[in-house]
Amino acid sequence: MRFILFLIIIASFSALPARHANAQQDDRRQIESLMAAQTSAWNRGDIDGFMQTYWRSDSLLFIGKNGVTYGWQATLDRYKKTYPDSTAMGKLDFKLLEFKPLGRDVYFVVGKWHLQRSIGDLQGHFSLTLRRIHGAWKIIADHSS
């Protein structure tokens, strides 16, 4: 009986890495989907839809070339001021380069962004901190340059 119990315990521990890897793959797919939704909204000219991927909180942190912006509303206002129309917005493309789990419900993501625009292309890199909040991934910090 002890031997059978021992085998059951060993079998349950050997399954942990596989479950962990599957969970990380699911997280990555969900984050990739979030980024695709963000791209789609941007390319429709929908900054409000683009902002749905961000944490709707005064604690949201956005760092860009002009410094730090605190809060969801201030970040939305900043985007609307910087990109007032579809010509300024252009067409967005992301390349996701790194996914680093920082905890069960927190990821650090690094990538490249590119805006194809008739008035001149823009591009740079970004790092995002995402947290699962009420079952959905949200960007809680964005550093784009």
DSSP state of 84: -
From the list 67, 78, 50, 77, the residue with the least C-alpha distance to 139 is 50
pLDDT in the model for residue 128: 98
The CATH code belonging to domain 2-144 is 3.10.450.50
Which helix (H) or strand (E) segment holds residue 122: the answer is strand 122-133
Domains in the chain: boundaries:
2-144
Give pTM, 2 decimals: 0.84
From the list 79, 116, 109, the residue with the least C-alpha distance to 95 is 109
31-71 per-position pLDDT tens digit? 999 999 999 999 999 999 999 999 999 999 999 998 999 99
